[in-house]
Amino acid sequence: MKKKIQLLIIFIFTLVPFKAISLIEVDITRGNLNPLPIAISPLHIDEDSEKIFFEETKIENLGIEITRVVENNLKTTGLFNPLSKDAFLQKPDIAHLKPRFEDWALIKAQALITGKVTITEKKIRVEFRLWDVLAGKEILALAFTTVPNNWRRVGHIISDKVYERLTGEKGYFDTRIIYVAEEGPKVKRIKKLAIMDQDGFNTKYLTLGNELVLTPRFNPTNQMVTYLSYFRNLPRVYLLDIETGIQEVVGDFPGMTFAPRFSPDGKKIIMSFASDGNSDIYTMDLETRVVERITNHPSIDTSPSYSPDGKYICFNSDRSRYQQIYVMKSDGSDVKRISFGKGLYGTPVWSPRGDLIAFTKLHKGKFYIGVMRTDGSGERLLTENFYQEAPSWSPNGRVLIFYRETKTDEKGEGFSAKLWSIDLTGYNERLVITKTDASDPSWSSLLSK
């Protein structure tokens, strides 16, 4: 009985102080998804540096040009709203020294970028600062030195740093995209391998267009590319070193190999090998050239893609009669079907973040690009069109790039293939400008890590 009374007293005393010291709490679980208003003050360049730079590159104001790159990058994300420069009240050089935060807050800016460019010993030095306008403090300051021709990359790196500081995730601006450049009528298409910066600038062609090329994929760790081309009229997987231009056929298979992709460590290639109407998944070690069979099933298994930790592989197969997405361990065991929706699923690609798998879906004559969790739950279709496929992730796993084809008219004209990007929200869909028609894009990892 005594114990019971003691317990009761303790119980009462534990309750009483809570009431005395507790604080009113309000849970904020919603916010707005409006892009963050950001002021990008043109990077200041002194007159002497401007003259020297103009002599070398014929660009009048490097500061403004770099600012334009940053502004364009941040705007395309859909997460930032770069404010009009007409509204700026403070001059760039003074703002870089000490911004008047009241002036920037007046035009509703929440973040501010300032900076300056100088040229010394034929190299450019670009420094920039990122300010939190409302808190009234500097939150990032960096400087880069490089050769003048590299100025666009400097703009991309600044964009990456700002993006990372304000969103918490890595950027994807200092990256390149490899794709198949297409020219000519649909029946007689010339296809070349091409590479460009993620914003569509600095396009270079890697092949001449004599052979058909398809599905180029970047090595996540270096500047190697794997793709499919024709060798003795058979589709074969190739390797190409972008820096040296050397290319080679991967493996010596009697049949056709296709749908190649690198492993996350870049040491293996995973691909499909088809013979006698059956297609299975194989890997090849690039150092030892040892080939390993991963699946062994009478159905068509293709489009393999590794998880970022290399432990799992997703692929598509028609082993359940219709083409669906499956996940298995990297040794081929424990195969599980993860897609169960209506329609056909193909080209699964594991996100670099590891949480999602992107895919192409065909349902009732329409093509969709969508994502689902790695267990198949939470399927979301991001975009719908007449024909679109081959999604490829940005290195931060936030944006997908894919290609879309338009219908040909009765005369057989009007056909085009273009690259498009869409972010995970599904709202920010953009056309990626390329010099020619384009298909089969693949996003590189960040060049500056």
Partner 1 sequence: MNKEIFFSFSFHLIIIFGATLTLPFLLKKPIDLPPIISVELIQITEKTNIPFAPKAKKIIEKVKEKEKLVSEQAPPKKVKKEKPDSIPLPDEKIEVVKKIEEKKQNPEKVEDKIKQVSEFEKKEMFDLNQIAALIDKSKEEVAKTKKKSNKITQSQDDSVDMLSLTLSEEDALKAQIFGCWSIPLGLPYNENLLVRIKLKLKPDGTVIKSEILDHVRMNKPGQGFYKVLAESALRAIQLCQPLRVPSTGYERWKNLQLNFDAREMLQG
Binding residues for partner 1, per CB under 8 A?
19, 22-36, 79, 110, 132, 134-135, 139, 163-169, 353, 355, 380, 396, 398, 425
The minimum distance between CB 166 and partner 1, in angstroms, equals: 7
Euclidean distance between CA atoms 85 and 411, whole angstroms = 48
The minimum distance between CB 372 and partner 1, in angstroms, equals: 13
Between 57 and 167, name the residue whose CB sits nearer to partner 1: 167
Q: Retrieve residue 300's tokens.
A: 């068509």
The minimum distance between CB 219 and partner 1, in angstroms, equals: 25
Residue 356, classed as helix, strand or coil, is strand
Between 16 and 28, name the residue whose CB sits nearer to partner 1: 28
Q: Retrieve residue 315's tokens.
A: 């692929």
Where does 394-445 show beta strands of DSSP type E? Answer: 399-405, 417-423, 429-432, 437-443
User: Contact 281/238 with Cβ under 8 angstroms?
Assistant: no
The minimum distance between CB 350 and partner 1, in angstroms, equals: 16
| CA neighbor of 80 nearest in space, from 114, 111, 41, 115 | 111
Between 152 and 430, name the residue whose CB sits nearer to partner 1: 430
The minimum distance between CB 103 and partner 1, in angstroms, equals: 16
The minimum distance between CB 178 and partner 1, in angstroms, equals: 25
- Residue 51 CA neighbour count, 13 Å, CB half: 2
Q: Which amino acid is at 423?
A: D
Between 1 and 20, name the residue whose CB sits nearer to partner 1: 20
Between 189 and 353, name the residue whose CB sits nearer to partner 1: 353
The minimum distance between CB 396 and partner 1, in angstroms, equals: 8
Tracing tokens 């400008």 back to the chain, one arrives at 433
Euclidean distance between CA atoms 217 and 179, whole angstroms = 9
Q: Which residues pair with 75 in a beta bridge?
A: none
Between 169 and 292, name the residue whose CB sits nearer to partner 1: 169
Between 134 and 290, name the residue whose CB sits nearer to partner 1: 134
Euclidean distance between CA atoms 421 and 415, whole angstroms = 20
* DSSP assignment string, 389-401: EEEEE-TTSSEEE
